[in-house]
Structure 1
Amino acid sequence: MNRNEDILSTTEADQFGLTAAALLRQGTQSLPTGIKDRLYAARLKALSVKKPEKVRIAQPVLAGSSGSWSIGSRSLWDNVGWVAPLAVLVFGLIGIAQWQQDSRINDIAELDVALLTDDVPPDAYADSGFLGFLKNGPLAESDQESLSSAKTPS
């Protein structure tokens, strides 16, 4: 037997349910009152224990034909909630880059002010002898004595 033959279509299933309900209604009319009362109590007990079914209604994400901005109980902010942390990250990185650039500009400005207010003229910094002086530092005392003895004839 083919499995497709075992499955009822939606209309056939609805028709079967209506027919079964009608037959049960006719059968309960001929039952004694005590049995009817027990069946009614059992039905109420079964309905009180039954868990409610969750029905999911699919709605468009953005405003569509219904004009709704949600899917079920989820709002637009729940759907795009990941955007807020991403925006904070991007603006934070932009802020850090701006702060570093301002810091570099301030350092360069301090250096310019030091060069312009110093006693040494700016041309001296381009002199190769001055760069050697800065690398080696001031002459040691032994170097100064040897230079002074070399200058004075003995």
Structure 2
Amino acid sequence: MNMEEINFAYKVRHALNQNLEHLPASTTSRLAAARQAALARKKADMPIRVLASVPATAQGTAGGFFANPFSWLSRLSVALPVVVVLASLVGMYQAEKQHRISELAEIDAMVLSDELPLNAYLDHGFNAFLARRGD
């Protein structure tokens, strides 16, 4: 609920409480039944978990890294996926770089060993291919 709805509910409750003596008995019984039905449908209160940090001076000699055995595990569960993603990105970059180097080396070896036919050097598409591969 937002603050506007809460304020409206408080105003309605206040108006009903002020005029409670002037309401007919049938209306008060219907309001009581509606209140009971609303309370029956109300969700159970859930305990609220609050993350509170403890100053380093309050931990004493028994505190520190081993004070909460699962705190390092929660930090690791956040850091581990980040490390895995970074490692996979570096691996993919290195693999693509190695693949490109091997393709260029193969073309250079063909050019230097004269295994290409003479018409390949005259073809403008081949020159464009070599220029694009050389970038």
Which structure ranks higher in relative contact order (CA pairs < 8 Å, sequence separation ≥ 6)?
2
TM-score, normalized by length of structure 2? Answer: 0.41
Q: Which has the larger radius of gyration?
A: 1
TM-score between the two structures when normalised by the length of structure 1? 0.37
